[in-house]
Amino acid sequence: MRTQDVRQRLTTPLSSPAYPPMVPRFTDREYLNIVYRTDPDALRAVVPEPLRIDEPLVRFEVMKMGDVSGYGPYTEAGQAIPVGFEGERGEYLHAMYLDNFPATASGREVAAYPKVIGSPSLYVDSGAVVGTLDHGSLRVATATMGYKHHELDRAEAEAQITVPTFMLKTIPGYDGLPRVQELVRTRITDLTVKGAWTGPARLQLFQHVLAPLADLPVLEVVSASHILTDLMLAGVEPVHDYLKGGASS
């Protein structure tokens, strides 16, 4: 393979890349969001500077991807933490678990999503929307919300989903030290809210050493939403370089 051909490949194996070279579109992306209050000291231990915490809140989310171009359907779950950065309010993606390897690999390599393999699910059971996350054979999280109890204003639903998202991009060098270490920013684009609801909700988190969601304990459920969308993801932009000690250019 010629050098110019190698330079055009985004990932390995060269003859069968781990993910397609495309920007995916998400159709019928379904969210279950549970916002809860947690221990502020636990939050401060995991949110990197220069991000700032206003309230000790966490959003547990389960997302069922009805159809994703290039990847097909899959499900994802994780935790997002409301933060501030240079006067802008957004969310820091703390951890994401999903059941699709190409989406996991591309999310980590092309962008900076903190994705690892897990077994999430989202379904309706006896009048409740149920979101779960398993790691291996063990349950890590169970979320329930009353199914379509109340309509949620679609503008409010859009505002929940389109806040800027901050992530940490870390790529090690061959000496074991970080070669790239940046705070990056992205957001959802081309969003259509197709349905949105709210209702009573509960969330249980279970201790697991390799999926430590329970390190951010549930003290009080603040709000919940169930939202159906079509959308796309914008590219990422670096906003802070930890190796240089300042803003990225």
In sequence order, what are the residues at sequence separation of 6 or more whose Cβ sits closer than 8 angstroms to the Cβ of residue 72?
100
The beta-carbon contacts of 206-211 under 8 Å, at least 24 apart in sequence, are 206/138, 206/139, 206/140, 206/141, 208/135, 208/138, 208/140, 210/135, 211/95, 211/97, 211/118, 211/133, 211/135, 211/140
Q: Taking a C-beta distance cutoff of 8 angstroms, is the pair 161, 61 a contact?
A: no
DSSP structure class, residue 246: B
The catalytic position among 115, 148, 169, 244 is: 115
Burial class (CB in 10 A: 0-12, 13-18, 19+), 19: buried
In the chain, count of helices (H) and strands (E)?
4, 15
Q: What are phi and psi of 104, to 5 degrees?
A: -65, -50
DSSP structure class, residue 53: -
Task: Check if 115 is active-site.
Answer: yes
Helix (H, G, I), strand (E, B) or coil at 232: strand
Rg (CA), the chain: 18
- Just list the catalytic residues: 115
